[in-house]
Amino acid sequence: MSTGRLPLEDYQRYGRQMILDGFGLEGQLKLQKASVAVVGAGGLGCPALQYLAAAGVGKLGIIDHDVVELSNLQRQILHTQERIGIPKAVSAAEAIKQINSRVEVVPITSALLPTNALDLLEPYDIILDCTDNAPTRYLLSDTAVQLGKPLVSGAAQKYDGQLCIYNYGENGPCYRCLFPKPTAPELAGSCAEVGILGVVTGIIGNLQALETIKIITGLHEGKASLLIFSALSTPPFRSIKLRSKRPTCPACGVEGQKVGRISETDYVAFCGGDRPDWVSKGMVVEGRTEYRITAKEMRHVLQSSPTTRLIDVRPPVEYGICHLPNSINVPLNELVADPTSFVKIDEELETYFVCRLGNDSQLAVDALRSAGGKGIIKDVVGGLRAWSKDVDPDFPVY
């Protein structure tokens, strides 16, 4: 039995969880003494922080260098319209203060880097991976191994999510044990590119909070497993039994640490380089001047040339969100698979391709040309984003 005591008011605040078998005053005191670092105050971090704060975790570190944007609010539920433009770590700290003013919150607005990760995370008992990119996931895993701390890791995209505690228990694997090779950046996809349903990050973030509370209070059985969530599958949850740590793992294997010093490791290079900046790439004209036209030129062509066809190569669901009135939809994957059956070769016609940002439309031009397309075949620089900016400000940007 614990001999500790809580401030009087806390018996009322936390009574509902303290009366649980296996939790008790002792569990609450453990939470109060615990410190948790949440890396990423986005779709996963917000719900995780919300519940950890409400449950009475003593100290919460929030590491995030982004600022709140309108497109975050669909899932990042601690942020508000009023706080758009301010750092996410600060916004989340403000929200937590309103939930539970006695939690010590440490907002950190610098990016987590190989050079500062050990120092930033060393003061905490448990680390939560709520990040959105592969390099930081490997960095966090290596850091957790080196510091000997459990890493409660969540991930989500589209309708799916994953939850796993790395570097935990007797023989629990680290992230590198499970995924020794990173996915290529162009396949990894961000929430902006592949989409995410907000409540899916909410489910995974809540589970991260739950596992963290279980670890702190001693309710966790100490064995790691990988939980796969798929909102549209039946059953939606699947628990995968994990193997032990890989003896040959370069980070946590029995043969010792081979990954080298964290501060000297280039995690971005290890993961295949920077994530492509599709907005900038879609604006590049150099080397393709004869195959590209600007949005303003496109408007002029549509107004003046009757023998024009405008083909929108986005997926049908995106075409359904908004499209230019005279465009027809041929999704890129169908076009590339069989260009001339979808876009008949007709030299009398001027063919223009458009997409969201101006990247896929370049692939469409190349596909039709290499299938024998002749005459004017071009695409719109910067895609519909540029159309909205330079031609029609009423055209939606998503």
Partner 1 sequence: MPEIKVLYFAAASTTAGLQEEHIPLPSEEPFPLSSLATLLSSRHPSRGLDKVLATSQWSVDAEMVDEPEKVFLAGGEEVAVICPVSGG
Q: Tokens standing for 170?
A: 């007797």
Angle at 133 between CA 236 and CA 220, to 5 degrees: 50
Q: Where are the alpha helices (DSSP H) in the chain?
A: 8-13, 15-18, 24-33, 45-55, 88-99, 117-121, 134-147, 175-178, 185-188, 191-194, 198-217, 267-270, 278-281, 295-304, 316-321, 332-337, 339-342, 360-370, 383-390
Residue 181 within binding range of partner 1, rule CB under 8 A = yes
Residues that contact partner 1, how many (by CB under 8 A): 49
Q: How far is Cα 368 from Cα 377, in angstroms, rounded to an integer?
A: 8
Q: How far is Cα 12 from Cα 16, in angstroms, rounded to an integer?
A: 8
Distance of CA 121 to the CA centre of its chain: 21
* Choices 127-135, 212-220, 304-312, 354-362 (CB under 8 A): range interacting with partner 1: 127-135
Interacting positions 270-329 with partner 1 (CB under 8 A): none
Residue 70 within binding range of partner 1, rule CB under 8 A = no
Which residue number, 183 or 326, has a Cβ lying nearer to partner 1?
Answer: 183
Strand ranges of the sheet holding 292-293, from the earlier edge strand across to the other edge: 292-293, 377-380, 350-354, 308-312, 327-329
Residue 194 within binding range of partner 1, rule CB under 8 A = yes
Distance of CA 271 to the CA centre of its chain: 15
Residue 227 within binding range of partner 1, rule CB under 8 A = no
Q: Minimal CA–CA distance to 265: which of 101, 135, 355, 169?
A: 135
Least CB distance from residue 114 to partner 1, whole Å? 17
Q: Tokens standing for 96?
A: 């937590």
Which residue number, 14 or 138, has a Cβ lying nearer to partner 1?
Answer: 138
Least CB distance from residue 227 to partner 1, whole Å? 11
Q: Which of 130, 174, 191, 249 is catalytic?
A: 191
* Choices 5-13, 59-67, 331-339, 350-358 (CB under 8 A): range interacting with partner 1: 331-339
Count of C-beta atoms within a 10 Å radius of residue 324: 19
Asked if 130 is an active-site residue, the reply is no
Provide the pairing of β-strand 59-63 with 151-157. Answer: unpaired
Residue 188 within binding range of partner 1, rule CB under 8 A = yes
Interacting positions 7-46 with partner 1 (CB under 8 A): 40, 42-45
* Choices 13-21, 213-221, 332-340, 350-358 (CB under 8 A): range interacting with partner 1: 332-340
- Report the residue from 179, 270, 291, 395 that binds partner 1 according to the rule CB under 8 A: 179
Report the catalytic residues.
191, 355
Residues engaged in binding partner 1 (CB under 8 A): 40, 42-45, 130-134, 137, 154-158, 160-162, 178-179, 181-184, 187-191, 194, 196, 201, 204, 226, 228, 230, 232-233, 238-243, 246, 333, 336-337
